[in-house]
Structure 1
Amino acid sequence: MTTPDFTLRPERAEDEPFLRRLYVAIRMPEVEAMGWPEEMRQTFLEQQFSMQRSHYRTHYHDAEFSVIEADGAAVGRLYLFRGRRDHRIVDISLLPEVSGKGIGGALLDQVMTEAAALGRGVSIHVEGFNPARRLYDRKGFQEIEQRGPYWLMEWFPEGVIPAAAVFQLNTAS
């Protein structure tokens, strides 16, 4: 299997229409199930996008906000916070038409390789019903804790002990 051809570039102000379209494309199936009229679904998702964007900018202000491009077109986003303990994937999203083509797996491999070289792990919060969980499982991520619909999943390179495990070892003695 060949690695898909994609690039990451810093997010720019002019990317906002694409980012809105991406958010709507990803979340629309959930909202369609509610049976709301089209206008209500669209308004709701626009509001949710704005609130999520504000939350990310406030709580992860020093994260790297990147747009994923393939064949010169924007196809997704990767928001990555590089902490002292781990690399937190704040958000990884791909347009439905490119999902399942290997870009997400290749991005995870890049993030994991970079984190491992620094002796760090990788973490992500993922909804329990998200099909991407299968990818995280294949990559060796472990479920750590559940908060509402989200699971915190972590991966650490061989030989690196997660901080929580060190804390448990120290308190057990």
Structure 2
Amino acid sequence: METKKTQPGHQYTETGLAWSMLPARPMDVDAIAELRATVMRPDLERLGRYDEHRVRRRFRDSFSPQHTSIITAAGSFAGSVTLRPAEDGHWLEHFYLSPHVQGRGLGSAVLRTLLAGTDAAAEPVRLNVLQGSPARRLYERHGFRAESQDPIDIFMLRLPLTSRTRQGLL
């Protein structure tokens, strides 16, 4: 996947790994759909829900490049994340990291960056994560709490830092 820097992205090195977030483009859809299929496969298979065509189609049907960032690490495509505005805050969606960069602090660094913006705007963030997914621990470390669940998904909410402080959740 080409990650041409036609628009400047933010450059970070806090993880010991040079990384950046760049605006997604419509042409990024296939690379992200493939990454989604790769990283979600173990959890979807465990839940009996993996379908190699459906996993890609669901992403393609909901891809919104205007709200999506491409994550690069060491100059190469490493993942994606969508922060979609909603009536009552934002939805964090399509947060996928390539297996070769997982476990190196990049997911936490990306979340800290995104959540600093939503905290500054005093806006809550929602997401859903698959039951049993190790990603749930990452989200909980960053202040997300389960709001509801079903046999497949856990729906989580993170209040802005100022709201969590007032409610004694920190």
Q: If the length of structure 2 is used for normalisation, what is the TM-score? A: 0.75
Do 1:144 and 1:153's aligned partners in 2 also have CA atoms closer than 8 Å?
Answer: yes
Q: Report what 2:158 is aligned to.
A: 155
Q: Report what 2:25 is aligned to.
A: 12
The equivalent position to 1:48 in structure 2, one of 40, 49, 55, is 55
The equivalent position to 1:116 in structure 2, one of 119, 123, 128, is 119
Q: Report what 1:37 is aligned to.
A: none
**Unmatched segments (≥5 aa) in structure 1:** 35-40, 166-173
Distance 2:141 2:119 in 1: 17
Q: Report what 2:85 is aligned to.
A: 82
**Identity fraction in percent:** 25
- The structure richer in helix per residue is 1
Q: Report what 1:73 is aligned to.
A: 76
Q: How many residues align?
A: 151
**Unmatched segments (≥5 aa) in structure 2:** 1-12
Do 1:63 and 1:80's aligned partners in 2 also have CA atoms closer than 8 Å?
Answer: no
Partner SS, residue 93 of structure 1? strand
Q: Report what 2:98 is aligned to.
A: 95
Q: Report what 1:28 is aligned to.
A: 41
Query: Rg bigger for which structure?
Result: 1
Residues 83 and 5 (structure 1 numbering): CA distance in 2 closer, same or farther, change over 3 Å? farther
Q: If the length of structure 1 is used for normalisation, what is the TM-score? A: 0.74
Distance 1:32 1:62 in 2: 28
Q: In structure 1, what residue type is equivalent to 2:75?
A: G
Deviations 1:135-165 (A, max 9, x none): 111112111011331111111134427xxx9
